[in-house]
């Protein structure tokens, strides 16, 4: 978490998706945070044309899962496992 914080410090924040169960936001073009507090997986599709995230760049989860997000089209579906968080860093 400290590595993520240090990398995105000073970057703007934009909420990409939210509900009663989850929140997904970006920090500049450097990082994405997803938090799911409910008992089931949340899948949320984001229109990437309205975001400053880099296309064709790997964003790797720094919280230990090691999952990699590579956005290669105008929309991307993020999957947030139940009661977990992800912090993807470019």
86 in Cβ contact with 80 (< 8 Å): yes
Mean pLDDT of the chain: 92
Question: How confident is the model at residue 49, as a pLDDT?
Answer: 75
What dihedral angle (degrees, nearest 10) is formed by the CA atoms of 13, 19, 20, 25?
Answer: -20
Give the domain ranges of the chain.
2-89
Give the model's pLDDT for residue 71. Answer: 86
Mean pLDDT to the nearest integer, 26-34: 95
Backbone torsion region of residue 20, taken as left when φ is above 0, otherwise alpha when ψ lies between -120 and 50, otherwise beta: alpha
Q: May I ask the CATH class of domain 2-89?
A: mainly beta
Model confidence, pTM: 0.91
- Sign of the torsion formed by the C-alpha atoms of 21, 26, 32 and 33: negative
Alpha helices in the chain (DSSP H): 2-8
């Amino acid at each position: 978490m400290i590595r993520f914080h240090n990398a995105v410090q000073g970057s703007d924040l934009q909420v990409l998706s939210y509900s009663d169960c989850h929140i997904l936001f970006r920090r500049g073009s450097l990082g994405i945070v997803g938090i799911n507090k409910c008992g089931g997986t949340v899948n949320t599709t984001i229109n990437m044309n309205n975001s400053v995230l880099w296309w064709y760049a790997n964003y790797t989860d720094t919280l230990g899962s090691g999952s990699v997000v590579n956005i290669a089209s105008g929309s991307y579906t993020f999957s947030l496992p139940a009661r977990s968080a992800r912090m993807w860093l470019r």
